[in-house]
Amino acid sequence: MSKFLTKSLFTQGVYCPELLWFAAHAKDELSPITADQQAMFDQGTQVGTLATTRYPDGIRVDAEGFAAYVEASKQALSQEVPVFEAALIAGRQYCRVDILRPTPRGWDILEVKSGTSVKEVHLWDVAFQVDTARRAGLVVHRAYILHINSSYVRGVDLDVQELFTEVDVTEDIEPFLSRMSGTVSSLLRVLDGPRPQLPATHSCSSPYGCPLRELIVLPEHNVTELYRSTGKDFLDKGVLRIADIVDGAGLSHKQFVQWRAVTLQAPQVDHQRLSEWLGSLQEPVSYLDFETINPAIPLFENTSPYQHIPFQFSLEVDQTDGTVSHYEYLHPDGSDPRPALLHALQVMRGEGSVLAHNASFERRVLSELLSAFPGETWLSDVMDRLVDTITPFREFWYYHPKQHGSCSLKAILPALTGAFYSDLEISSGSTASQEFLRITQKAAPDAEHVRSQLLEYCKQDTQGLREVVEVLKQRVLKPE
């Protein structure tokens, strides 16, 4: 039996036809959905469900089995009330529409998105739904995208009407509709065709990233790891490994440093600039890391969608007497964590450089705290003292071949110290956020264990950052 071209397969195929085939026929060969991806999907479902509450007279299609669901959709549409998740079939096109809203001139199609703006992929998505609906015999009046209103500020209660922005995209999708017949025909040929061959140069314009890259086996230190490069120009010439680039020709300065590190299998150090950067640090030096939640649906009064709300911090301080002090805070429950966290953060009053990796994040958290609590003017001083430890790595004043082209702390820490985040139960900021929400939004029998792991993860960031800086100091004092 021929497979349907669903709207998810369609939107994948528009940007990467090969991915459409694998998603339909060899999904088990693709990497499983990560916890972070699942959390994103779950949030999208939550947002979609909340959007339907804007229409209290609406009905949600609910039936077991494909045929029963299609029939239930037809029955629901006959009642001329808003219908949620109705299934539409036209030939081999199949989609479920988030919201179908009846009007005197036909049905409005509303696609709910958990993002804060309209993107091209959304227009393809809605165009496919409109085309399928019309081919199925439905009269479509207008098409809309319902997305999160980033300017919304929550009051005591959540205002679902204000939380969303309704954008009329009826005219915007016309260019996509004009190409729909040819696009669908082309994608159906891919769907029915043989397994695609994936060259080492495979790339696509998928807005969500292409998982097919993971199926292409390349050697260690391959050209796709070149800093800010896909490596395609070299792959097209048959050059797979960075070390095989003759004399480092055609590389930028930073890529050339990377090439030397890989070729010599030794760290590359710009001693002068690294020494100047280290010398600019003011004592006592502190190391700061925040963990935050940033839900699409704001949880607390006077907060907005996707606003970063810090619930935890870790702080290491190299005291002038040679000792190291550690401070930490983890909010105990599901209330707004900011007032109590701010009280605990008072320990940062004073002098000295405050180091953070990719410090723009910490700066944003501090800035939003100051906006919410304008009386805490000392936060401005902390922001003035921030120093970004990504700088010497992004500028390639220090580069280790084990970084594999990355400047992230998760790449730098194991390369310089041998410590791995993978050794931790909670090993990413997004997982930390998800776990905090899980144990504070409802009863969780493992809450205490999770709290201990959250503390360990956040502490790893600041302790690890301190160790990285110590390694840099050693490289300056004892050149390799």
Task: Answer yes or no: is 205 within a domain.
Answer: no
pLDDT at position 103: 96
| Helix orientation angle between 180-192 and 7-15, rounded to the nearest 10 degrees | 90
Burial readout 30-60 (b: 16 or more C-beta within 10 A, e: otherwise): eeeeeeeeebbeeeeeebbebbbebeeebbe
Q: Which two tokens stand for residue 229?
A: 């490069």
Do 255 and 282 fall within a single domain?
no
Do 414 and 447 fall within a single domain?
yes
Do 361 and 460 fall within a single domain?
yes
Do 398 and 440 fall within a single domain?
yes
Do 238 and 286 fall within a single domain?
no
Q: What is the CATH number of the domain that holds 397?
A: 3.30.420.10
> Which ranges of 16-157 would DSSP assign to H, the alpha helix?
17-25, 35-52, 66-77, 120-135
Task: Answer yes or no: is 122 within a domain.
Answer: yes
pLDDT at position 479: 57
Task: Answer yes or no: is 438 within a domain.
Answer: yes
Do 229 and 281 fall within a single domain?
no
Helix, strand or coil, per DSSP, at residue 248: helix
3-state secondary structure 270-305: CHHHHHHHHHCCCCCEEEEEEEEECCCCCCCCCCCC
Do 439 and 294 fall within a single domain?
yes
Task: Answer yes or no: is 198 within a domain.
Answer: no
Q: How many domains does the chain have?
A: 3
pLDDT at position 230: 85
Task: Answer yes or no: is 209 within a domain.
Answer: no
Low-confidence ranges of the chain (pLDDT < 50): none
Do 416 and 328 fall within a single domain?
yes
Host domain of residue 297: 273-477
Do 67 and 139 fall within a single domain?
yes
Q: What is the CATH number of the domain that holds 87?
A: 3.90.320.10
Task: Answer yes or no: is 238 within a domain.
Answer: yes
Q: Which two tokens stand for residue 406?
A: 């990355």
Do 414 and 465 fall within a single domain?
yes
Task: Answer yes or no: is 204 within a domain.
Answer: no
Q: 433, 293 in Cβ contact below 8 A? A: yes
Do 246 and 325 fall within a single domain?
no
Task: Answer yes or no: is 210 within a domain.
Answer: no
Do 31 and 94 fall within a single domain?
yes
